[in-house]
Each structure stands twice: as C-alpha cells, then as structure tokens.
A = this chain, B = another copy of it.
C-alpha cells in the first residue's frame, strides 16, 4: 500500500466517530468533513446533510458527473463505528491504528471505514485509468454516520432525496467474503430494529434483608421478562412475531449452505458450541433465513467488587431484532411489546424506550444480469469464483436506499471472522484492503 494511501487510511481511523454516542458528535462531523475534502480531490462535489429534526452525525452526499452517458452508480458506506468498550480488553488504543504483521488493528479498521475506504481507493484508481477517460458514469456517494445505531438521519431524509439518489446500480462494501477470502455476493440481508426495556419497581434501592420477601426485585423481574422471549429450544416465543415470514426457495437454501461455515468451524470461531437460536433448525437456516431477538445488554443493581445486599429499584435490557422478508419492523415490535406487557411481573412498571425501527430484510434474485456480470468479474479476480450469501447481518439503510434510488444492489465485501468487528481488537489485513480496492476498480470498469 502506498504511504500516502496508508496515511489517509490511518487519519480516517483516528476519528472517534461513534455515531451512537452524542458525546462523539463533534468527531463524526470532523470525520465527514475530512471525507468531503478527500473526495473533492477526485472531482466530487460534496455536501454534509442534516435531518430536519434534531442534530445528528451528518450524511455526506458527494456526486461526480460522468462524461459518457446516463449510467449512474450509487455507492454507500458508513463512517461511524461501534463504541470501543470494553476498552480495557484492547491490546492497543482503540482509536490509534497499530500494524501487527499484515493487519491493522483499530476500531473501524474493517467495519466500515476500512472496507469503504479501500473501495474509494479503487474508485480513485479507476478514475485515473484509461477505461474512465471520457467514459466515466455518474457516481454518487453516500457516507452516513449512524449505521451502527439504525441510520436514523439518512432514513429520515432518503424519501425526500429520490431524485438526488436515483441510480441504476448501488454498490456497497460492508460485508464479509466466504472462508479463505473466496469472493461472496450478498443475495439477502436481515433487517434490524432495536429498543430498550425498562422496569421500575421500588422507588429506591432497598436493603435485601429488611425488604427481602416483601419488595419485588426488578433485577429478578427483568431476568424473567427477558427469559420469556424464547422457549426451551431457543426458539422465539413471542406470539405473532414469526407471522408472514417468506420461506426461502430450495435453490436459495442450497446456495446458502455452500457459503455457510460448518458447525465445527463456527465452534472454533466463537469459542463455544454454536447453539444460539432455535436448536431444532440447522445453522444455515438460523443465520440466513430466520429472525432473532437478541439481548445486547442487561443491567440492574450492583456489579462491583465484593457484595452489596440490595434490591435495586430499576433494571434495563437492550434488545435488538434481526428481521427477514415478510416481517415489518413495526409489526415485529408490536408483537414483542404486547408480549412484554403481558409478561411484566407484578409490582413492576414497564417502559419501552428508544425504539428504532431500522428496516426490514430483503432477498435478491440470484439470476439477475447484474449478479451474472459481477460473477464474471469476481472469477477473473479469483479462479474459485464467487458464492452467494444470505448475510445474517443488516445494513438497514440499504433496503431503504434500494427502494428510494431504484437501483439494483450489488453488495460485495471482504470481511473475515478474524477481523472481530464490534469486538475489542478489531482489525483488517492489507490483503483484504487490496482485494476491496481491486474489486472496486474492476467492477467500475465492467459496469
């Protein structure tokens, strides 16, 4: 990697752009401004957009008019990153890039700064190439700062930007390749919504001796409430939640199986038995075609050194839902809400806070011309050719951009499990960076 590129990459990584944390808003703005300037040098006219309501990490919209004809390509990425905590589990400072062997360690090294920036470097290569001369398409770039927390601002603005976002193809580089970096085309994504459950019981923390057996305990209550969301097999136990789900076709099932690691590979990767979700179903089904209700956090009472014999006054649980085609975020939330209201233990006041609808999931036809062209380009890069993936993860805004822009999504990324995105010591290899960069140049030439 050229020194200049690496310097820019590291500069991008140093912005502490945790979009979910209001305290990091300034870092997000600085990051977006830096990207606007970087793109300006490639001939892009950029603008930082804000939603009408509230003040959020800005959405960078940049456009470069093409020379030849009407083809328009939309590229989407996000410059926000997950919070770094637990910070003390990082071997190096979370926002200072550290090179170890062939890898760069830093929050965002991969998700999504590393992946979208590598793609933009490939775009830069393309624009400098003969292929682009007098023949470059219109290129629109959207880089947002809230992907990790639901893309609130962009989702709010998108409907009013139909004209601006209109495109033929939408490229995204924010997903994983198959094992051993075999190229993968995403044929489906799950949607994601999240919210916070709050239980209030006693008006203050109580002595667990003076009141034990009398006062209801919110820590115990939230445990029971959260536990009620799943049955003994790990299946979702919320009435109506699974209604309307569109089952995959046999071809989709077969292709998904090809790109899904084995149970053993998963066990080795995650360090425990892969027994999440409905254990009566195979992993490929649970990961690619079934929804989840996940507890991202549960907190109540004392957690420090020694003991504190207290009955806490309140408890929270942070919940996210992965949704599949046929489910709407609002309908799914309503089902969970009804379930929680019905199962709230006596003595507790239930409040559901910060519901972020996000977006539903989608699946694309594996036989489209765009996918066939991408398959050819990827086979030129890697003789193994490409596989299709129905990714368990979500890029909520992609479903919305897909609808608003009218573009066909082409989602190809170069992540690997060892990158540990969302965890301490996230990293991305120079090899992966280079693959993403090569892919960007090649597909832009082909389109």
Contacts and interface: CB of A to CB of B under 8 A. Distances in A.
Interface of A: 19-23, 82-83, 85-86, 148-150, 176, 190, 192, 194, 200-217, 219-220, 222-224, 226-230, 234, 266, 270-279, 283, 286-287, 290, 292, 294-312, 315-318, 320, 322, 346-349, 354, 356, 391-394, 417, 420-424
A178 to B, nearest CB: 13
A286 B213 contact: yes
Nearest to A292: B212
A321 B350 CA distance: 27
A443 to B, nearest CB: 24
Contact of A210 (B176, B210, B299, B317): B176
A223 B220 CA distance: 8
25 contacts: A21-B304, A202-B271, A204-B420, A204-B424, A208-B296, A208-B422, A209-B391, A210-B393, A212-B294, A213-B292, A214-B274, A215-B276, A216-B272, A217-B294, A219-B226, A219-B295, A272-B347, A272-B349, A274-B347, A279-B346, A296-B308, A297-B301, A298-B299, A301-B318, A303-B316
A310 to B, nearest CB: 5
Contact of A266 (B83, B214, B223, B393): B214
A28 to B, nearest CB: 12
Contacts of A202: 270-272
A276 B217 contact: yes
Contact of A214 (B206, B213, B228, B392): B392
Given A305-B20, A308-B296, A312-B296, A212 B347 contact: no
Contact of A209 (B192, B301, B302): B192
A241 B140 CA distance: 67
Given A206-B270, A273-B346, 6 more contacts: A21-B304, A150-B307, A219-B295, A220-B226, A296-B302, A299-B300
A295 B305 contact: no
B149 A276 contact: no
Contacts of A217: 276, 294-295
Contacts of A20: 305-308
Contacts of A275: 216, 346-347
Nearest to A356: B307
Residue from A85, A190, A302, A417 with most neighbouring chain B CB atoms (10 Å): A302
A276 B226 contact: no
A441 to B, nearest CB: 27
Contacts of A306: 19-22, 83, 149, 354
A25 to B, nearest CB: 11
A53 B375 CA distance: 69
B346 A194 contact: no
A307 B320 contact: yes
Contacts of A417: 210
The 6 A-B pairs with the shortest beta carbon distances in the complex, nearest first, are A203-B271, A20-B306, A209-B393, A297-B301, A213-B277, A213-B286
A348 B273 CA distance: 8
A222 B348 CA distance: 20
Contacts of A223: 222-224, 226-227, 295, 298, 317
Contacts of A302: 83, 85, 296-297, 318
A129 to B, nearest CB: 34
B305 A208 contact: no
From A224, A272, A294, A316, residue with most partner B Cβ within 10 Å: A294
A158 B307 CA distance: 22
Contacts of A216: 234, 272-276
A318 B304 CA distance: 9
B303 A297 contact: yes
A230 B276 CA distance: 24
B421 A207 contact: yes
